[in-house]
């Protein structure tokens, strides 16, 4: 009867930590200057309904950036301001298309100016689950109910941020974050989940790296 608590203690100490790797590219060694009245806008990549970057992740990155000196325009507010040009079928996939939209659509150019959008950050990626093993069974009887067993699964979060400077219509930076770890479910009367926080760690990593890119003035 001593083994289950020991297993739980070991997993809590070592098994549920995520391993996070961050890669960054900048077009210049200097930080990106941003004035107090200028805004960083965030948007998740979407592709006509069958592919969508997790809105929860985009919101998490926005919350991390908003806690700093940066002025951040949330995704929902950005999409409302530029509707319908940022819908999956119409959103620009490259800077040339973005430039064309702003030249051809005075309403887009006006909204970008009104919100003070200087930098446009595309967030692209997902969290995947794989490598599931083990089993769990639950039953109820005269003496009560309980679950017994042991299951594990691997989770990987891979996200990339692409930063556009809308003043110069140029790509100025890319940040990629890979976070992976193993989660566990232990059946010891009641199921005990020990979940690795890969998505949260990826959010913090990409949020901190984006913050380090900018130089608020």
The CATH number of the domain where 169 resides is what? 3.40.50
Question: pLDDT tens digits, residue range 53-68?
Answer: 888 999 999 999 987 7
Which is higher by pLDDT, 193 or 69? 69
Q: Is residue 78 part of a domain?
A: yes
Which is higher by pLDDT, 86 or 65? 65
To the nearest 10°, the Cα dihedral for 64, 67, 72, 78?
Answer: 60
Q: Is residue 83 part of a domain?
A: yes
Can you tell me the distance from the alpha carbon of 96 to that of 123, in angstroms, rounded to the nearest whole number? 18
pLDDT band at 104 (very low <50, low <70, confident <90, very high): confident
- Give the E-state strand segments of the chain in sequence order: 19-26, 32-34, 39-44, 46-47, 51-52, 72-73, 117-141, 144-165, 170-194, 214-216
164 touches 95 (CB < 8 A):
yes
Q: Is residue 81 part of a domain?
A: yes
pTM over 0.95: no
The answer for 119, left when phi > 0, alpha when psi is -120 to 50, beta otherwise, is beta
Q: Is residue 118 part of a domain?
A: yes
Over residues 120-126, the mean pLDDT reads: 92
- Residue-range definition of the domain harbouring residue 166: 19-126+157-180+197-216
> SS3 of 16, please?
coil
């Amino acid at each position: 009867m001593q083994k289950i608590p020991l297993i739980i203690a070991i997993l809590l100490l070592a098994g549920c930590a995520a391993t996070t790797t961050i890669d960054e590219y900048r077009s210049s060694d200097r930080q990106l200057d941003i004035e107090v009245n200028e805004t960083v806008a965030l948007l998740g990549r979407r592709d006509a309904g069958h592919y969508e970057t997790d809105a929860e992740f985009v919101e998490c990155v926005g919350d991390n950036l908003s806690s700093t000196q940066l002025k951040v325009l949330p995704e929902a507010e950005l999409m409302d301001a530029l509707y319908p040009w940022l819908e999956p079928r119409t959103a620009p996939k490259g800077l040339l298309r973005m430039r064309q939209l702003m030249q051809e659509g005075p309403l887009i150019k006006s909204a970008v100016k009104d919100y003070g959008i200087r930098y446009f950050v595309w967030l692209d990626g997902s969290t995947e689950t794989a490598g599931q093993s083990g089993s769990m069974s639950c039953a109820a009887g005269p003496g009560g109910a309980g679950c017994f067993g042991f299951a594990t699964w691997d989770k990987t979060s891979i996200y990339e941020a692409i930063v556009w400077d809308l003043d110069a219509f140029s790509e100025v930076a890319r940040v990629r974050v890979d976070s992976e770890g193993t989660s566990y479910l232990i059946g010891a009367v009641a199921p005990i989940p020990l979940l690795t926080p890969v998505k949260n760690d990826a959010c913090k990593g990409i949020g901190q790296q984006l913050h380090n890119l900018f130089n608020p003035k």
